């Protein structure tokens, strides 16, 4: 089963109110496209946390192991895997190349767990450049950040800024 995940995060201030938006695409054996949209807003968070959470929640929505292409305008997320930053962080005990604590460890760990059962490839797309799915994710993320029903980002700390 192959799934395409498009994801974006938004923060009104950094930190500030934020949200994520994700769109999942799956085409079944009969050629029918299935689309699922996910979004949530948070009282106080950062853009990077929302970029991560959008991918996490989409992967966690998958009910069986899949081949997944993740499309994100976040170089932070995409480069962590494609440029093997995450491998270095793990080898150094969650320290970056400057021997500083890696920010957002709670979400990186959750992303690794959500990714584990799947074969995942990460692809960078330019944000705000007319890519229809990325534009939809941005709309979902900003509406969530600006909406009512904001929840607490329980893992957010001032160290993540």
pLDDT at res. 129: 85
Is 146 one of the annotated binding-site residues? Answer: no
Is 69 one of the annotated binding-site residues? Answer: no
Task: Give domain limits for the chain.
Answer: 2-160
pLDDT score of 161 more than 80: no
Tell me the per-residue pLDDT of 131-151, one tens digit each, with 9 for 90 and over. Answer: 899 999 999 999 999 999 999
C-alpha separations of 38 from 7, 57, 67, 80, 128 in Å: 9, 8, 19, 23, 19
Residue 71 φ/ψ region, left for φ over 0, alpha for ψ in the -120 to 50 degree band, beta for the rest: beta
Q: In what order do the strands lie in the sheet with 33-45?
A: 33-45, 16-27, 2-11, 67-72, 119-124
Is 51 one of the annotated binding-site residues? Answer: yes
- Give residue 40's pLDDT band: very low, low, confident or very high (50, 70, 90): very high
pLDDT at res. 159: 77
pLDDT at res. 131: 87
What's the number of CA atoms in the CB half-sphere (13 Å) around residue 149?
A: 7
For residues 101 and 89, give the distance between their C-alpha atoms in angstroms, rounded to a whole number: 9
Tell me the per-residue pLDDT of 66-106, one tens digit each, with 9 for 90 and over. Answer: 999 999 999 999 999 999 999 999 999 999 999 999 999 99
pLDDT score of 157 more than 90: no
Is 153 one of the annotated binding-site residues? Answer: no
For residues 34 and 96, give the distance between their C-alpha atoms in angstroms, rounded to a whole number: 39
- Kindly report the CATH number that applies to the domain delimited by 2-160: 3.30.420.10
Closest by Cα among 39, 51, 29 to 139: 39
Whole-number percent of the chain with pLDDT over 70: 100
Q: Which residues are catalytic?
A: 8-9, 51, 73, 128, 138
């Amino acid at each position: 089963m192959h799934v395409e995940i498009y994801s974006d995060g938004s923060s009104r201030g950094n930190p500030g109110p934020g949200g994520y938006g994700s769109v999942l695409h799956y085409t079944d054996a009969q050629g029918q496209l299935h689309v699922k949209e996910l979004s949530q807003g948070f009282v106080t968070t950062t853009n990077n946390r929302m970029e991560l959470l959008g991918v996490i929640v989409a992967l966690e929505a998958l009910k069986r192991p899949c081949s997944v292409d993740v499309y994100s305008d976040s170089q932070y997320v995409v480069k962590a895997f494609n440029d093997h930053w995450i491998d270095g962080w793990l080898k150094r005990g969650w320290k970056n190349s400057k021997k500083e604590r890696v920010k957002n460890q709670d979400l990186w760990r959750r992303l690794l767990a959500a990714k584990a059962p799947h074969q995942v490839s990460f692809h960078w797309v330019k944000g705000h450049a007319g890519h229809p799915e990325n534009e939809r994710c941005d709309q979902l993320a900003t509406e969530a950040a600006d909406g009512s029903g904001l929840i607490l980002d329980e893992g957010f700390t001032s160290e993540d800024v």
